[in-house]
Homo-oligomer: A and B are copies of this chain.
Amino acid sequence: MKKQVPDEQPQFYTRLPVLRAERGMSRKELAELAGVHYQTIGYLERGEYSPSLVLALRIAAALAVPLDAVFSLTPFASMADQLYNTEGENR
């Protein structure tokens, strides 16, 4: 069964929605690229469960970025900040 409410604090953080938006992909498209069910992408974006390593690797490959750019144990800084904002402490 899925988590109906994400009451627990997240096990991981993801840039999936951002990266997908940047590429103008729907979940369905990304899912097909990664070879998974399109609902699975939704569950990941909503943090309803955390993926397996191979799924995460396939997603990163489909987005053409290293895995650490998509998933992390610690929160991501906004990419805009990283690019344009000197104040951005986190990487």
Contact = CB atoms under 8 A, between A and B. Distances in A.
Interface of A: 11-12, 50-58, 61, 66-68, 71-73
B51 A73 contact: no
Contact of A50 (B11, B12, B54): B54
Copies of this chain present in the complex amount to: 2
Contacts of A72: 57
Contact of A52 (B53, B61, B66, B67): B53
Nearest to A52: B52
A53 B14 CA distance: 11
Given A61-B73, A73-B61, A11 B54 contact: yes
Nearest to A10: B54
